[in-house]
Amino acid sequence: MNISLLRTCCIAALLLILTACSPKPEFKNIDITGSTAFGKDFSLVDPDGKARTLADFKGKVVVMFFGYTQCPDVCPTTLTEMQQVMTILGSKSDKVQVLFVTVDPQRDTAAILKQYVPAFDPRFLGLRPEDDVALEKVAKDFKIYYKKVPGISPGSYTIDHTAGSYAFDPEGRLRLYIKHAQGPETLAHDLKELLK
Q: How many CA atoms lie within 13 A of 153 on its CB side?
A: 2
Judge whether 161 is annotated as a binding position.
yes
Local structure of 177: helix, strand or coil: strand
Instruction: Confirm whether residue 21 is marked as ligand binding.
Output: no
Q: Is 151 helix (H, G, I), strand (E, B) or coil?
A: coil
- What is the Cα–Cα distance from 113 to 181, expressed in whole angstroms? 22
Q: How do beta strands 51-52 and 158-161 pair?
A: unpaired
Relative orientation angle of helices 74-89 and 184-195, to the nearest 10 degrees: 50
CA dist., res. 62 & res. 172, Å (int): 8
d(CA 102, CA 113): 8
**Residue 75 among known ligand-binding residues:** yes
Q: How many CA atoms lie within 13 A of 184 on its CB side?
A: 15
Helical (H) or strand (E) element with 176: strand 174-178
Q: How far apart are CA 48 and CA 193, in angstroms?
A: 32
Binding-site residue numbers for Cu cation are 71, 75, 161
Binding-site residue numbers are 71, 75, 161
